[in-house]
Structure 1
């Protein structure tokens, strides 16, 4: 049991670290290998492992698609089911869930305390600055929003909606996840992407 929890904690720490690293796929791959050890691969439990990965993917999708937590909640439930199928014991499942969530939160807090920011996947958010100096042109120019103050309308995980002077915009949190009704300001604009931080 101790070895299993140690593998779970290590996997959660590595996977959370991937969110803060530019070359995240290396960490994601390593994390999945460690989780494989937790689920007893390669000998058995392949289906349970794939169920866990499905839950993990749903939780990750929640970071990019603001839907009031429905996708993330389903993902967590699927992950809990995979834990139960491994241990077949409520107490062991509870320990596994607490260890996983606590490791994720603590690892994330450590990276944020070190000044690192959430790295958004290029498939979802373009990291390249899209401006006229770089040869890009766009009908949308949100530079006028820089330093403007507003409030989040939905939770930012890290993408969501915010209101500035009564007008709604899709924005990206430049730090940790932010709940709805959080005072924010626009830190920078890259092309059509509006990056915000919590005010104060």
Structure 2
């Protein structure tokens, strides 16, 4: 289950019909272009394609813009770190179709307990979880405001809960894993999480 590495170049924005493609790292450099496209009224779905890295602050900005416009989101290929939290902000959020392996790695500061998974990323739960990673208080009108007294952790590369969708002759197979960060890009070293169906957890929309 090794995933191919990809470059961490800054995000590129491309509008194709009513689908706004975002490729590369969400570091905030393309945020103005992103909001300009969303504001055009032409976008129905934001497609994150092979996006990794980025900052919690950038994730909050992209997520806030997506929630404000009520568009859907789609993850095609690998969507890790900042991309994952932006993806969860979609009104409906799904994996892309095709022959590619889709992977969504959501950063966590520690291994979540089984009972925490049910509401951790469902609805506003994703916003609250992201707020734990914001380094400093944001402005009053910022998309994500850290709750008072909440720990402000910095996410680590490749540390999080990974949801994958792999195409087979008989349809797609979904798996969930906890990756502690020591595995690098070799996701076969991650721990399988039982009873962590991404649809039941609200990570993917039916």
Q: TM-score range by the shorter chain?
A: under 0.3
Bigger proportion of residues as strand: 2
Structure-2-length-normalised TM-score = 0.27
- Structure with more helix by fraction: 1
